A = this chain, B = another copy of it.
Amino acid sequence: MKTAVLGATGYTGMLLVRLLAAHPRVDRVIPVSSSRAGEPVDSVDPALSGPLGLPVADTYASLTEAENDQFDVVFSALPHGISARRCLSFVDSAVVIDLSADFRFSSPARFEVAYGSPPPAPDAQERAVYGLCEWYRDEIVQSDLIANPGCYPTATLLPLLPLVHGGHIAGTIAIHAMSGISGAGRKKRIDLLYAERTENIAAYNPGTTHRHAHEIGEQLEAAGCDRPALFTPHLVPVKEGMAVTTTVPVDEPARAAEAIVNRYAGEPWVTATLDHCPEARHVRGTNRAIIGIRREEGHLVLMSVIDNLWKGASSQAIQNMNIRFGLDETSGLEYPGEL
């Protein structure tokens, strides 16, 4: 398969290039960047110039060059608002996997509340499927436009959706999330400097003010949830990693907990265990999500960890590609991750 990565100089784009380069079914990866077109890819990511002879182009292609080329799969790691229009150039000739938010919302109104402007390509929305792999496999396998989920929604929805579908939730869903700094992107911002973030912890966009709160809300409602869900993210000083802890009233804690465990019993990438507190480092550099469940009187505490750049972005995009092309879902993702 021949693949392209639009927006290949950010963290998720760089990781996509590396993952595709190591994928056994991928013959060619073209990193695309309008700001860096023509420059060597190892000027941004020196790992790509190593001894391994990776099947990656030596220089970044321009968008025009990419549009005049032919691909089996095109990934977009461009910013929301811009990504949709670029994806439309490829969607009739390739499978497109968009890591931006542009095709994640069924409701244009909700997109506008979350992102401050209408969805950039509303006419193409009905062709898109929400690429939360463990929940939308049947749709993903048939779709040519896959909207890869956000990192917070992935880590949040995996433990909650079985509760919603089982009708277990009995009160306010209190979601508190912690993310590594790479989640904010590779941007020139004072508040992302090492000296500002080391030894620091801070909440931001609390309650219903983070964009991902709306993405989570749409998915919970689509599954039948009518309880309020409040979502407060925090930045903590790690590069990659994410932990989400959710406290939720449920009618029958033991049965509700079992519903989660049973739902993921056969899944390669998601593990749910009772009375266990997962650590973010145990999934770092992997596509895994690990869920720990604590049963309390009338409540569950749900603890989930992922790597925000992997299962929260780039490796879930590879998992989506694997599903779409009928490959094993672990294909190209076999490495056991960081120590």
Contacts and interface: CB of A to CB of B under 8 A. Distances in A.
Interface of A: 11, 14-15, 18, 21-22, 46-48, 50-52, 54, 171-172, 174, 176, 178, 180-182, 186-190, 192-209, 228, 230, 232, 234, 236-243, 245, 247, 249, 267-269, 277-282, 284-286, 288, 290, 292, 294, 296-299, 301, 303, 305, 309, 330, 334-339
B336 A198 contact: no
A206 B301 contact: yes
A199 B199 CA distance: 9
A176 B277 CA distance: 14
A104 B205 CA distance: 35
B194 A301 contact: no
Contacts of A305: 201-202
Given A193-B181, A237-B238, A339 B279 contact: no
5 contacts: A46-B279, A50-B286, A54-B336, A232-B301, A236-B237
A230 B278 CA distance: 18
Contact of A195 (B182, B285, B294): B182
Given A186-B190, A281-B200, A294-B207, A52 B330 contact: yes
B279 A207 contact: no
Contacts of A178: 178, 201, 234, 236
A196 B133 CA distance: 30
Nearest to A282: B46
A228 B297 contact: yes
Given A207-B294, A277-B206, A176 B247 contact: yes
Contact of A296 (B176, B189, B197, B207): B207
Q: Which of A198, A209, A303 has the most CB of B within 10 A?
A: A198
A198 B239 contact: yes
Given A186-B195, A192-B194, A247 B172 contact: yes
B207 A243 contact: no
A44 to B, nearest CB: 10
Contact of A240 (B228, B242, B339): B339
Nearest to A185: B195
Given A199-B241, A339-B309, A190 B190 contact: no
A292 B239 contact: no
A249 B172 contact: yes
A91 to B, nearest CB: 28
A17 B91 CA distance: 43
A245 B176 contact: yes
A334 B52 CA distance: 6
Given A277-B204, A339-B240, A188 B186 contact: no
Nearest to A242: B201
A240 B196 CA distance: 11
Nearest to A309: B339
B198 A194 contact: yes
Nearest to A48: B336
Given A241-B199, A247-B230, A337 B47 contact: yes
Nearest to A202: B279
B189 A280 contact: no
Contact of A206 (B50, B201, B288, B294): B294
